[in-house]
Amino acid sequence: MTDTSWTIRTSGYNEYKVGAIFSSGDTMYSNSVIVPRGYYLRKIEGDSVSAYNIFAHSFRKISNSSADIWPIDYWKQFDYQNPVLYDQLYFSNASSDVFPNWLLAAEVEGFGTSFINYPDKVNPGAVTGWKFHARSHKGSCLGFSTASIFDFYREPAFYDKFHFFESLLPADVLASDSVIHMITYLQSYQIFGKYNNFIPTSNDPTPNKAVRELEQYFQNYNNKFYAYLSIGEAEMCHAIVPYAIEKVNDDLYYIYVYDSNRPALNDLRIEVQMNTNKWRHSYFTKNKFISGKISVKTGIEKILLPNTNALMAQHLQKTHIQNTMQITMGSDASSFIIQNGDTISGFNALDSTVINSAMASILETDGILRAPAFYNLPTGDYSVIFKDFGVSKAGASLLVDNGKGNYLGVQRSDSASPADRDIVIINNNALSFVNPDPVTKKLTFHQFVEKSQVPNITNGKYFEASNVKIGSSDSIRIATTVNDNISFVNYGIASTFDLLYSYSDSVSSGTFKNTGVAFPTNSALTIITDRKDSNNSKLTILIDNGINGTIDDSVSLKNQVLQIRNERGLSSIPDNLYLEQNYPNPFNPSTVIGYQIPVNSNVSLKVYDAIGREVATLVNEVKEAGYYTVMFNGTKLSSGIYFARLSSNG
């Protein structure tokens, strides 16, 4: 039996709020909408107009929390330290619980830029960029908000991308692997160079403007509402869906919202004082009216555009505005960007404030303000000071992109003390790390030169020097020379480093590795990244002792990578049994699995569920030595964790 009571309030304004309360069994439901001439999110379906309903269209059973979206068992499939699953040349220092996962990030960014030879070989520069972005990213509110809006409009492109969702309403969805993939894919879109696709409708977003903009959107339901609200107490950092406006009186408006942080609340709202231009929220502002910003952001429909070559080329060409550079940081410390003695931007971790947020790209996460994902700065010389290191004890981490296909980066790979300071100096296509503390630190340097922006062809050189020691009051500098070789200068104590070099072009690709390379005190190394030499398993280093411009010595290093792959697969017989990470992951609906065998043998490749039950046999036959891929269709699998296992009698 259902009991329904209606209350129509007509005084004070000309929009009528209708509230309905009804019961079913032991459960009480409530809802409220604004009747015609009011303002609410709605659409035309056939001959009728329907409104956004928080019961039907939001993810009320799933919250924006680690327990729901990123359970521990889910991340077991992303064991980046597992050489069977991931190439340890590039993934050995990646944390297994980073968000977003590499394979999903590669899908969002595009396989042509994420892989040199998909799915055979990753692009090491793309992996490095992923590591920097993944370290600083939390929450998936944008994923929840955009999925909610796409489903409300029954977008065909949305269902083409996420097949499992076509016959379901968000209210019926549980936190399965498929849902996690969908939510994190949509959230990840804002990270990899595409963040600026979501555009505020106002350069000075205030609560009053947000109310007026929503009125305009909601009045015309012939146009689709491809927007969301970005809110936060100090800076905008949380995405929510506004679905109704109630005018209490001329000076007070309510904006009703779906918030993935609190999905079960059906009456959550933002109260706006029009006369003071202030707002309050029961959770964000603790019921205090503040002058914080509320931004209506548009452009989410671009997530569903097909990832064509033309669109990818356009994205690559417009990643940066002319004469700008991008600095990505990955640390929970304070970071201050200084130019000509003045702090022009940065993040103060002690009070969670952003300095000059106009230069900072602040991602919507879970409503907690964190360090910006990256900074867009005019091309020039800068110093960055890191201090106030947090509980993660992660030291300085910085990647510079000059917008011209040249990337330089440094990561501190040992633990940082709260009293430490790390200094990075950026000038003239060079990067220097300075150690002002009375301790020795350990660093990893990165350099990537991309010579082509042709879609689906990665043409570049990647260099990495890891396990480099830097003493107290010392500095180390890395730069790119005019002919794209690497200048590596040590102004301090003698050290060694592990060298990794990869190259690729439209014809071939290769990897060179050598550990324990000498880095003498007060010396400058010029590392000759000649593709012909490295392909012949050697690499030359010119040594300038004393850093006086004179070459005093040279060494020729031998490649310690036993096999080199090109676009046609393995250039030699594999020397070990190897199972690659399947892609895409999860298995559902289909996935490609690559494997190699060193000798002719009977090969078995099977798929098991999380408790070890065999669910499919993909290969069970004699194979010649070599590299193979197999396609597995997992559309009939239920949601869960699955593993592939390779064995051979050879």
Give the range with max mean pLDDT: 293-297, 389-393, 439-443.
439-443
Contact 329, 134 (CB under 8 A): no
CA 143 to chain centre: 12
Amino acid at 10: T
Q: How far apart are CA 265 and CA 223, in angstroms?
A: 28
Q: Is 212 left (phi over 0), alpha (psi -120 to 50) or beta?
A: alpha
Residue type, 264: A
pLDDT of residue 22: 45
Dig out the tokens for 521 from the structure. Answer: 């005190």
pLDDT digits (tens, 9 = 90+) for 94-139: 877 777 788 888 888 878 778 877 777 788 888 888 888 876 667 8
Instruction: Pull the structure tokens for residue 255.
Output: 């904006």
Please provide residue 227's backbone torsions phi and psi, each rounded to the nearest 5 degrees. -155, 170
Q: HSE on the CB side for 502, CA within 13 Å?
A: 27
DSSP output for 243-258 = EEEEEEETTEEEEEEE
Residue 182 has pLDDT above 60, yes or no: yes
SS3 514: strand
Q: Which of 141, 147, 125, 69 lies closest to 101, judged by CA?
A: 69
Alpha helices in 220-354 (DSSP H): 309-317
Q: Are 198 and 300 in contact (CB under 8 A)?
A: yes
Question: 497 pairs with which residues across the strands?
Answer: 517
- Burial letters 268-304, b for 16+ CB under 10 A, else e: bbbbbebeeebbbbeebbeeebeebbbbbbbebbebb
Nearest to 335, CA basis, from 422, 241, 464, 244: 422
> Tokens 């129509």 appear where?
8
Q: Which two tokens stand for residue 485?
A: 């070789």
pLDDT in tens, 456-494: 445 678 899 999 999 999 999 999 887 788 999 999 999
pLDDT band (50, 70, 90) for residue 571: very low
pLDDT above 80 for 532: no
What pLDDT score was predicted for residue 334? 94
pLDDT, mean of residues 297-319: 61
Q: How far apart are CA 37 and CA 49, in angstroms?
A: 13
On the question of pLDDT at 590 being above 50, the answer is yes
Candidates 231, 248, 253; CA nearest to 240 is 231
Instruction: Give the residue-averaged pLDDT of 278-291.
Output: 89
pLDDT of 455 over the 50 cut: no
Contact between residue 560 and residue 515 where contact means Cβ atoms under 8 Å apart? yes
- With b meaning 16 or more CB within 10 Å and e meaning fewer, what string describes 88-104? ebbbeebeeebbbbbbb
* Whether residue 259 has pLDDT greater than 90: yes
Residue 48, burial from CB neighbour count under 10 angstroms (0-12, 13-18, 19+)? exposed
Whole-model pTM? 0.77
Instruction: Label residue 567 by pLDDT band (50, 70, 90).
Output: very low
pLDDT at 218 over 80: yes
Q: What's the CA gap between 154 and 43, in Å, rounded?
A: 10
Q: Which pLDDT value is given to residue 70?
A: 82
Q: Report the share of the chain in percent with pLDDT over 90.
A: 32
Q: What is the CA radius of gyration of the chain?
A: 27
More confident call, 239 vs 306: 239
Instruction: Please say whether the beta carbons of 158 and 151 come within 8 A.
Output: yes
Q: Annotate 81-127 with DSSP letters as a single string.
A: T-TTTS-HHHHTT--TT-SS-HHHHHHHH-HHHHEEETTTEE-HHHH
Neighbour-count burial for 582-617, b at 16+ CB within 10 Å, e otherwise: bbbbbbbeebebbbbbeeebebebbbeeeeeeebbe
- Please state, in angstroms and as integers, the Cα–Cα distance from residue 66 to each residue in 59, 141, 456, 580, following that order: 15, 12, 34, 28
Q: Residue 79: how many CB atoms within 10 A of its CB? A: 15
Kindly state the DSSP code that residue 638 receives in the 8-state scheme: P
Joined tokens for residue 468: 């480099």
- Which contacts (CB < 8 Å, 24+ apart) does range 93-98 have? 93/131, 93/413, 93/444, 93/466, 94/127, 94/131, 94/134, 95/135, 97/70, 98/131, 98/134, 98/135
